Structure 1
Amino acid sequence: MKKTSIIPKPVTEYDLRLLRIFSSVVEYGGFAAAELALGITRSTISVHMSNLETRMKLTLCRRGRGGFSLTEDGQAVYRAVIELFDSLNDFSLLVGTLGKELSGELVILCADQLDSFKQQKLAQVIQQLHDDSPNLHIVLDGDAIATIEKQLLKDKAHIGLFPSYQQIEGLSYTALSNEPIYLCCAKEHPFFSQVDSAISEQALAEVAAIHPGIDIDSEGKAQLMKLNLSAKSYQFDTRKAMILSGRYLGYMPQSYIQEELNQGQIRIIKPSSHTYQFNLSLVTKRSPREVNKVNLLCDIFKKVFQVN
């Protein structure tokens, strides 16, 4: 005879608590690792897990010398738990959009380290956001472009700031700023003391250079094809460090290296011919779940960055 779960319908607050503990144990890979995150002892976690298995009449996990692992039933329950908590979050977000005053999280993700000018502009955006909607909890963080795209499409982020070299279906792009990127070398590099006319295209193609690590537009690709791309670095701050080593050429926006240019630590090579455009875009989901928050952000960004 098939065992019947004793978890009542509807699910109680106690069941939700047990499921949250179960979810944490899975995400942290075991009882010991989840101890600190949950703020309860391993023995208490074990009791809660046993209670959950008893209530569900299922064996959810195996623990012992072989380590922690989920049973087939445990994997199915974990997937259902993720969907359950996502639904609860969706409900909270929906309710948050119904009031006159916006509240809850507002997530802004950046793929690049911003130069001082853009940091000042972003500070103005945050200032106005805080003044206009003080109940919003602003989350400002950085991540890889591919991750930001996924977060936007899943409604886990409201705005992304990154270059629009490739455009993904389902996302909307608004150009915020545009500036040229130049080929650079540092003081320790052999080209530093040579005038541009003495640096041949063949010589440029023979020395080590840095690839940005992503597919860029055709103009940028044409420039990169001229070089010996033997290293990779997407972030401008890490790329600058590689250039400063004196062992690599690399493309950088002038705004990110102005201090080094002034100090004579970096120089630009052949600026009239070895350059392409860096476009920073404001990226949103075309049909976001929290449209009021996204519209508020877009309006402020466009105003601050003076975008029509």
Structure 2
Amino acid sequence: MAELGQVGDYEIRLLRVFKTVVECGGFSAAEAVLNVSRSTISVHMSNLEQRLKLTLCTRGRSGFALTEDGVIIYDAVRRLFSQMEDFRSTVNALHVQVSGELNLVASDTISLDSRSCFPDVLGAFCQRAPDVYINFETAPMNEIERRILNDEADVGFIPYHRELDGLVYQPLYEETCYLYCSDGHPLFDLDDTPDRIRARVGEYKLVHAGIQTNPQVAVQLQGLNKAASAYYYETRLAMVLSGAYLGFLPEQYVEPWVQKGKLKPLLPDERVYKLGIAAITRRHGRFNKPRDVFMEVLVQHTRPEFQAESR
């Protein structure tokens, strides 16, 4: 059984000739449209039939007519060129000015963390897509995941403790969290003898995030007196600064208070965990040019060791 091999540019040109001949109703009428002689058209048609190993039309004194195979091929050619035109339009649309809306939602502290380069990312994005209207909100991590999965937001920024099947994660940087106390807490002036602090740390109230955490965090909370919850770092920091609570906080976020002598980490070699910070998008979301451009810009500004880790 004869089979058609690879279709290349030459076959496409022959198919265009065939389509024009059919739509013009014959070789003579197609001469003016194709701007070639009837004999040249005849050669092209013969070459096409040889390549397809089919008889596409009859031509002679009785006039031009498609064979049954010719009718089928003509319908297929129309679909082929329609799909090619759709492809061309899609590609061209990707080069036009990006417009529409971009909905961003972030957990607290991420947008102003120097490691996220967020102001630079937004500036570069606005240069590439000046007509895009940006909505930017803050929400808890679980809410951000839900909104991305439901197509209610385009890009989310979270300290993630799990990877959901419906999301794509682009790591941005890694956060180190220590257990802190303030200068008003009884453990602050305790001699920095690990044994003494270790023996007493479980006696004092701890404020924690109040959400399901990863195993590393869960291990760190074991043996501590979980007496309050505060998801946002800002409110958790306020509770730790009150002197009434201990709490895990990101090292870089609380550095100004450490420098002022208002906070210090307890058992920093033991009471510590790492937390990945990532941008998340929906794995099978609708076509969204503003989101795609934003993610391109974001990756360009991401630290090199994280650029290829999207998963």
- Which residue is 2:45 aligned to? none
- Please say if residues 164 and 173 of structure 1, whose CA atoms lie closer than 8 Å, have aligned partners that are also in contact: no
- Aligned equivalent of 1:147, options 119, 122, 143: 143
- Please say if residues 161 and 280 of structure 1, whose CA atoms lie closer than 8 Å, have aligned partners that are also in contact: yes
Quick one: distance in 2 between partners of 1:226 and 1:288?
A: 42
Quick one: distance in 1 between partners of 2:256 and 2:128?
A: 35
- Please say if residues 180 and 263 of structure 2, whose CA atoms lie closer than 8 Å, have aligned partners that are also in contact: yes
- Which residue is 1:265 aligned to? 262
- Please say if residues 182 and 263 of structure 2, whose CA atoms lie closer than 8 Å, have aligned partners that are also in contact: yes
Structure 2: gaps of 5 or more residues:
1-92
Relative distance call for 1:177 and 1:120 in structure 2 (3 A) is: closer
Q: Offset of 1:206 from its aligned partner?
A: 1.4
Q: Offset of 1:201 from its aligned partner?
A: 2.7
- Please say if residues 181 and 276 of structure 1, whose CA atoms lie closer than 8 Å, have aligned partners that are also in contact: yes
- Which residue is 1:289 aligned to? 286
Q: Offset of 1:118 from its aligned partner?
A: 3.3
- Please say if residues 197 and 266 of structure 2, whose CA atoms lie closer than 8 Å, have aligned partners that are also in contact: no
- Please say if residues 115 and 255 of structure 1, whose CA atoms lie closer than 8 Å, have aligned partners that are also in contact: no
User: Residue type of the partner of 2:286?
Assistant: R
SS in 2 for 1:272: coil
SS in 2 for 1:107: strand
- Which residue is 1:239 aligned to? 236
Alignment of 1:296-307 (within 5 A): 296-306=293-303, 307=307
Q: Offset of 1:119 from its aligned partner?
A: 7.8
- Aligned equivalent of 1:167, options 163, 167, 185: 163
Quick one: distance in 2 between partners of 1:128 and 1:220?
A: 35
Q: Offset of 1:203 from its aligned partner?
A: 1.1
- Which residue is 2:132 aligned to? 136
Alignment of 1:17-28 (within 5 A): none
Are 2:231 and 1:215 equivalent residues in the alignment?
A: no
- Aligned equivalent of 1:108, options 80, 85, 104: 104
Q: Offset of 1:239 from its aligned partner?
A: 0.6
Q: Offset of 1:120 from its aligned partner?
A: 6.9
TM-score, normalised by the number of residues in structure 2: 0.64
Quick one: distance in 2 between partners of 1:128 and 1:115?
A: 15
User: Residue type of the partner of 2:136?
Assistant: L
Which has the greater radius of gyration? 2
Quick one: distance in 2 between partners of 1:290 and 1:155?
A: 11
- Which residue is 1:194 aligned to? 190
SS in 2 for 1:196: coil
Structure 1: gaps of 5 or more residues:
1-96
Q: Deviations over 1:41-70 (max 9, x none)?
A: xxxxxxxxxxxxxxxxxxxxxxxxxxxxxx
Quick one: distance in 2 between partners of 1:193 and 1:114?
A: 32
Quick one: distance in 1 between partners of 2:285 and 2:94?
A: 15
Segment of structure 1 superposing worse, 296-305 or 198-207: 198-207
- Please say if residues 115 and 173 of structure 2, whose CA atoms lie closer than 8 Å, have aligned partners that are also in contact: no
Q: Offset of 1:202 from its aligned partner?
A: 3.4
- Which residue is 2:90 aligned to? none
- Aligned equivalent of 1:183, options 175, 179, 199: 179
- Which residue is 1:124 aligned to? 120
Quick one: distance in 2 between partners of 1:253 and 1:303?
A: 25
Quick one: distance in 2 between partners of 1:141 and 1:196?
A: 41
Relative distance call for 1:115 and 1:144 in structure 2 (3 A) is: closer
- Aligned equivalent of 1:251, options 235, 248, 251: 248
Quick one: distance in 1 between partners of 2:173 and 2:273?
A: 14
- Which residue is 1:15 aligned to? none
Q: Offset of 1:237 from its aligned partner?
A: 0.8
SS in 2 for 1:192: coil
Q: Deviations over 1:57-113 (max 9, x none)?
A: xxxxxxxxxxxxxxxxxxxxxxxxxxxxxxxxxxxxxxxx87822211101100222
- Which residue is 1:206 aligned to? 203
- Which residue is 2:225 aligned to? 228
Relative distance call for 1:211 and 1:120 in structure 2 (3 A) is: closer
Q: Offset of 1:116 from its aligned partner?
A: 4.3
